[in-house]
Amino acid sequence: MEMRACAEELLRGAFRESVWEPFREAVRRYGLIGPGDRIAVCISGGKDSMLLACLMRMLREEGEIPFGLRYLIMDPGYNPENRRRVEENARALEIPYDLFETDIFDVANAQEKNPCFLCARMRRGHLYSRARSLGCGKIALGHHFDDVAETTLMAALWGAQLQAMPPVLSSANFEGMTLIRPLYRVRERDIIAWKDACGLRFIQCACRFTENLGGQAHTSKRQEVKELLRRLDEETPVTSDRLFESLHHLELGTFPAWKSGGEKRSFLDGEE
C-alpha cells in the first residue's frame, strides 16, 4: 500500500478516536476553519506538522467546509540530510509543497542570548509573509495538546503569569492574518503512535544550536516540564487532562488582577 493511502487509512481506522475525531472537534469547537478560507499549512519536517498536513487534506476532501490549502516548507538552514528527509516524507505522503529558503539558523545561532526565542519569532514572520504572498489569510501550525499543557505550566512556574497557547490567534504584526492550531486536542503520544504505525521517520529539532552542542544533552525548561507532567500523569493519569480543561473554565472572580494588551488591571478596584 502506498504511504499516503496507508497513513490516511490509519487515521480513519485505528486512530479515528485518538487523532481524527479530536482534530475535527478542535476545528468545530474553536471555529478554526470557515467557508472560503485559504490556509497555509506550515510544515517543519517533524511528525506534528506532517500529520497536520494529512489531516487538513482529508478534511478538505470531505467537502463539508469548502476551503483552500497550500503547504509551506520553510528551510531555515537545514543540513543536507534533514532537508532531504523533509522533502522525501512530503513526497511519500503526496503533499504538494511550496519550499522556500531563509537564513534563520545563521542569524539566530549568532545570538548569545535566547537563540531559540529569536528563531521562533523569525520563523513565524517568514511564514506569515510567504502565506500572504500566496493569497492565504491563515497559517496552520502543528502545536498539540501537550504543547498547550506544557506552555501553560511553564508560564506559571517561570513566567510568573497564567498564560495559555490559544487555538486561534490574530497576528499583531501582519494585519488580516490569523494563526490556527488544529491539533489543539490531539495528544502527542497518539501522534507518535501514528508515526510508528506508518513506519515514518521525521526530523527532530534540527537547529544549528543543537548541532553545535556536539551531541551533548541539552535540557530546556520545556523538556523539564514535559518530564514533570509525565511523572504526574503516572501518579494521577488525569493530571494533564485537568490542566488542559482548566483553560476552558477560568473563574475570573478568584483572581486579583489581569492583563490584556500589555495593560494590567485590578479586579480589586472593581474594574471589569
DSSP character for 38? E
Q: Establish if 257 belongs to a structural domain.
A: no
Q: Establish if 49 belongs to a structural domain.
A: yes
> Which position has the grid cell 483572581?
255
Q: Establish if 265 belongs to a structural domain.
A: no
Q: Which residues form the domain of 70? A: 3-250
Task: Give the pLDDT mean for 188-194.
Answer: 97
Question: Positive or negative, the Cα torsion across 231, 147, 32, 16?
Answer: negative
CATH of the domain at 143: 3.40.50.620
pTM: 0.91
pLDDT exceeding 90 applies to what percent of the chain?
69
Which tens digits make up the pLDDT trace of 19-35?
A: 999 999 999 999 999 99
pLDDT band at 212 (very low <50, low <70, confident <90, very high): low
Q: What does the pLDDT read at residue 154? A: 93
Q: Establish if 110 belongs to a structural domain.
A: yes
Phi, psi of 14, rounded to the nearest 5 degrees:
-60, -30
Q: Establish if 98 belongs to a structural domain.
A: yes
- Of 166, 87, 100, nearest to 130 by C-alpha is 100
> How many whole angstroms separate alpha carbon 22 and alpha carbon 30?
12
Phi, psi of 97, rounded to the nearest 5 degrees:
-90, 155
User: How many domains does the chain contain in total?
Assistant: 1
> How many whole angstroms separate alpha carbon 49 and alpha carbon 63?
22
Q: Establish if 241 belongs to a structural domain.
A: yes
- Report whether pLDDT(271) > 60: no
Q: Are 56 and 41 in contact (CB under 8 A)?
A: yes
Q: Establish if 259 belongs to a structural domain.
A: no
Strand partners, 169: 179
Which tens digits make up the pLDDT trace of 92-106?
A: 999 999 999 998 888
Question: What grid cell was written down for 165?
Answer: 497557547
Q: Establish if 270 belongs to a structural domain.
A: no
Q: Are 141 and 112 in contact (CB under 8 A)?
A: no
**What are the DSSP calls for 188-210, one per residue?**
HHHHHHHHHHHT--------HHH
- Report whether pLDDT(211) > 60: no
**What are the DSSP calls for 96-155, one per residue?**
-EEEEE--HHHHHHT-SS-HHHHHHHHHHHHHHHHHHHTT-SEEE----HHHHHHHHHHH
